[in-house]
């Protein structure tokens, strides 16, 4: 792991999950904390080698790969932590993530892993959209929901740390169906990002880019392709409709996704359902109950 410089105060650690860093004199802000203690140890080692302080932490959203290293950071350093409302509730109570993925049921032990449930952390300040500060440095928070319920991006010195509001094209094709909980909010966030005036942007997974608008547009196109494919699958079932479970199976088959365990099934079920919900909101499909099964048909 290495630290990459964007300008004279903005940096990032590139890895499976990117971690932002902003320096302001005696203060330093980390944007997200990686997946685990081992990741955070590497980050702290590099910061200390470069005599860069870390005094603040901003968690963009409460997915374990973005906050899993935060508990170790808080136990090691004197850290003041920001997080968006609602996301903060999950950060304080990480069981909520596998709980909602398991449809509100107490999750099975195999779902309580570091990929779905990090250690609980302290959130000192729940932030709203607008301007905030760490030390003497101001930053802007912007709501970018869709991937999670209240994900925030951070703009500092004309650099957008966009979290998982968009992905590199490589990541899109790798995961095939990106994890989202709200397709409409996802598309709205992507369209918003295209209008943000900044010198460059860093997604949670992918490369820092100055011409990030092209990648954002590719994300929009990709989501619309998934929506069209789901619509086609539902259209083929005509009046009798198709069960919710069969939609998940057929969409995964169409996009060459092989579900290998219960956790994966729950993640893809959530993402695919978010696209179906979008189609319902657009009055293109409808949900109904038949023979005690949730079914979907075209309108």
Do the beta carbons of residue 145 and residue 11 sit within 8 Å?
no
Architecture label for domain 3-165: 4-Layer Sandwich (3.60)
In terms of DSSP bridges, do strands 293-298 and 242-243 run parallel, antiparallel, or are they unpaired?
antiparallel
Q: Residue 183 has which token pair?
A: 């397709």
Taking CB atoms within 8 Å and a gap of at least 24, the contacts of 292-295 are 293/243, 293/244, 294/243, 294/244, 295/241, 295/242, 295/243, 295/244
Do the beta carbons of residue 157 and residue 197 sit within 8 Å?
no
Residues 163-210 pLDDT 10s: 999 999 999 999 999 999 999 999 999 999 999 999 999 999 999 999
Which one, of 100, 47, 39, 48, lies nearest residue 68 by Cα?
A: 39
Provide the pLDDT for residue 238: 79
- Tell me the three state secondary structure of residue 3: strand
- Per the model's pLDDT, the better-predicted residue between 33 and 237 turns out to be 33
| pLDDT of 239 above 90 | no
Distance separating alpha carbons of residues 95 and 81, to the nearest angstrom: 20
Give me the chain's average pLDDT, please.
97
Distance separating alpha carbons of residues 252 and 273, to the nearest angstrom: 12
Which one, of 122, 287, 152, 29, lies nearest residue 296 by Cα?
A: 287
| pLDDT of 240 above 90 | no
Percent residues over pLDDT 90 in the chain: 98
In the 8-state DSSP scheme, what is residue 107? Answer: P
CA 194 to chain centre: 18
Which one, of 139, 140, 105, lies nearest residue 262 by Cα?
A: 105
For residues 5-31, average pLDDT: 97
Is the domain defined by 223-298 classed in CATH 1.10.10.10?
A: yes
| pLDDT of 241 above 90 | yes
Distance separating alpha carbons of residues 231 and 234, to the nearest angstrom: 5
Where b means 16+ CB within 10 Å and e means fewer, 26-59 reads: ebbbbbbbbbbbebbebbbebbeeeeebbbbbbb
Q: Which residue has the tokens 């993402």?
A: 271
Residues 88-105 pLDDT 10s: 999 999 999 999 999 999
**3-165 and 223-298, same CATH topology:** no
In terms of DSSP bridges, do strands 159-163 and 152-156 run parallel, antiparallel, or are they unpaired?
antiparallel
Question: Where are the chain's structural domains?
Answer: 3-165, 223-298
């Amino acid at each position: 792991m290495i630290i990459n410089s964007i300008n004279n105060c903005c940096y990032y650690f590139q890895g499976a999950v990117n971690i932002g860093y902003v320096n302001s004199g005696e203060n330093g802000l980390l944007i997200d904390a990686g997946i685990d203690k081992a990741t955070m140890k590497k980050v702290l080692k590099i910061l200390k080698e470069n005599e860069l302080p870390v005094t603040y932490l901003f968690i963009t959203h409460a997915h374990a790969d973005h906050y899993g290293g935060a508990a170790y950071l808080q136990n090691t350093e004197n850290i003041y932590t920001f997080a968006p409302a609602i996301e903060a509730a999950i950060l304080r109570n990480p069981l909520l993530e596998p709980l909602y993925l398991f449809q509100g049921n107490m999750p099975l032990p195999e779902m309580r892993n570091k990929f779905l449930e990090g250690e609980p952390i302290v959130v000192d300040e729940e932030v709203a959209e607008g301007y905030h500060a760490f030390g003497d440095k101001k930053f802007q928070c912007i709501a970018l929901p869709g991937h999670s319920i209240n994900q925030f991006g951070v703009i500092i010195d004309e650099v957008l740390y966009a979290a998982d509001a968009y992905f590199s094209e490589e990541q899109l094709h790798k995961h095939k169906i990106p994890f989202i909980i709200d397709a409409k909010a996802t598309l709205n966030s992507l369209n918003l990002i295209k209008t943000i005036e900044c010198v460059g942007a860093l997604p949670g997974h992918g490369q820092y880019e100055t011409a990030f608008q092209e990648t954002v547009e590719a994300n929009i196109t990709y989501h619309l392709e998934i929506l069209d494919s789901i619509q086609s699958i539902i259209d083929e079932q005509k009046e009798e409709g198709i069960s919710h479970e069969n939609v998940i199976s057929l969409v995964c088959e169409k996009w060459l996704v092989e579900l290998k365990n219960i956790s994966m099934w729950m993640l893809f079920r959530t993402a695919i359902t978010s696209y179906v919900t979008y189609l319902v909101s657009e009055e293109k499909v409808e949900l109904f109950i038949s023979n005690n099964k949730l079914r979907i048909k075209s309108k």
